[in-house]
Amino acid sequence: MRIYDWHTGPYPARVRIALGELGLQSRVKFVPVDLRRGAHKTPAFLAINYSGTLPVLELDDGTRIAECTAITQYLDALNGDPLLTGATPRDKGVIHMMTKRAEIELLDAISVYFHHATPGLGADVEIYQNPEWGFRQRDKAVRGMSYFDGVLQQQAFIAGEAFSMADIAVIGGLIFAELVDLPIPLKCSALSAWYTRMQERPSVRDRISISRSATTQPFE
Ligand code: GTS
């Protein structure tokens, strides 16, 4: 398998965490696509993923799967005993819902903030920006943090009582939040405590430290 990604990116981090949790890293070859140079918007890459985003999983038969959720579902199904996406119909439904909610309320909102209300990937790549929309999405993401704090006051993990793809999606959101200097509000103590606990997992700790290594600018 090949994965087109960028090693410090928050969305690619989701798939790399899933690979770590599933012990599949050695089965994947990573192909770097340089976001800062706009390599993801070239015709050659748009032919790989119409949406022009990373990551993309490419199977040995040439099938390409984009979208972190879809990629994680594929990887998790490989050994017939899903660890991240739910074993029962109920768990599958709840995990998918909470993953989607993590994207809508947190991760995607931060991404819009980054691309529209900060220098983003630089003037050559960010050819259209709408700062007002970006700041609204930043505020939405902060509300999202409060929402997930409330969830974690009630239960140990984002989708219930076990670690799942939904936790990984919120982790991706918090990795992105750190890159754009958007701290977890002090009052969100359950979210902060959960994030500290998540970093006890080697797959998560490694990704966070790699993302933090992009010190001078995001996506270094
Ligand atoms: N819905 C997609 C998914 O879940 O895979 C979103 C993927 C996404 O936005 N990926 C980022 C990207 O390609 C990668 S990173 O910023 O996290 O490294 N962004 C570039 C862009 O121009 O949107």
Give distance in angstroms: CA of 170 to centre of ligand 1. Answer: 15
- pLDDT tens digits, 4-55: 999 999 999 999 999 999 999 999 999 999 999 999 999 999 999 999 999 9
Quick one: 73 and 111 in the same domain? no
175 and 102 in a common domain: yes
Rounded to whole angstroms, how far apart are CA atoms 18 and 164? 9
Does the residue 217 lie in any domain?
A: no
Q: Which of 77, 98, 121 is the last residue of a domain?
A: 77
Q: What is the pLDDT of residues 122-172, one digit of tens each?
A: 999 999 999 999 999 999 999 999 999 999 999 999 999 999 999 999 999
64, 4 contact by CB (below 8 A) = no
Could you tell me which residue, 196 or 219, shows the higher pLDDT? 196
- Residue 130 domain-assigned? yes
Q: Among residues 54, 77, 100, which one ends one of the domains?
A: 77
Judge if 54 and 154 occupy the same domain: no
43 plus 131 within the same structural domain: no
Predicted pLDDT of residue 120? 96
- In this structure, the answer to whether residues 115 and 73 fall within a common structural domain is no
CA distance 49 to 63: 11
Q: Kindly state the tokens that stand for 96.
A: 């998918």
Query: Considering only CA atoms, which residue is closest to atom 15 of ligand 1?
Result: 9
pTM attached to this predicted model: 0.97
114 Cβ inside 6 Å of ligand 1:
no
Per-residue model confidence (pLDDT) at position 212: 87
Please work out whether the CB of residue 10 comes within 6 Å of at least one atom of ligand 1. Answer: yes
pLDDT at 220 over 70: no
Whether residue 69 has pLDDT greater than 80: yes
Residues 61 and 122 in one domain: no
Q: What range does the domain containing 52 cover?
A: 2-77
Q: Is residue 218 part of a domain?
A: no
Kindly report, residue by residue over 160-200, the tens digit of the pLDDT: 999 999 999 999 999 999 999 999 999 999 999 999 999 99
Judgement on whether residues 62 and 21 belong to the same structural domain of the protein:
yes
Residue where a domain stops, chosen among 77, 108, 134? 77
**Domain containing 168 — which CATH number?**
1.20.1050.10
Give the span between the Cα atoms of 141 and 180, in whole angstroms. Answer: 12
Q: Does 219 have pLDDT greater than 80?
A: no
Q: Return the pLDDT at 116.
A: 98
Residue 126 and residue 35 in one domain: no
Count Cα neighbours of 155 within 13 Å in the Cβ-side half-sphere.
Answer: 11
64 plus 128 within the same structural domain: no
213, pLDDT greater than 60: yes
Q: CA-to-CA distance for 126 and 128, rounded, in angstroms?
A: 6
- Judge if 113 and 201 occupy the same domain: yes
Ligand 1 mean position, distance from CA 122 (Å) = 15
Same domain, 128 and 163: yes
Asked if residue 218 has pLDDT above 70, the reply is: no
| Residue 216 counted as domain residue | no
Q: How many angstroms separate the alpha carbon of residue 98 from the centre of ligand 1?
A: 19
Q: What percent of the chain has pLDDT over 90?
A: 95
**What separation in angstroms does the CA of 196 have from each of 9, 78, 104, 171?**
20, 29, 23, 11
Whose CA is closest to atom 14 on ligand 1? 54
Confidence at residue 60, expressed as pLDDT on a 0 to 100 scale? 96
What domain count does the chain have? 2
SS3 177: helix
**219 part of a folded domain:** no
User: What CATH number is attached to the domain comprising 65?
Assistant: 3.40.30.10
Residue 156 has φ and ψ, to the nearest 5°, of: -75, -30
Return the ligand 1 atom nearest residue 11 CA: 17
Same-domain check for residues 173 and 93: yes
Neighbours of 46 (CB within 10 A): 12
| C-beta 67 within 6 A of ligand 1 | yes
Q: Could you read off the pLDDT of 89-107 as tens digits, one per residue?
A: 999 999 999 999 999 999 9
Predicted local confidence at residue 215, as pLDDT: 55
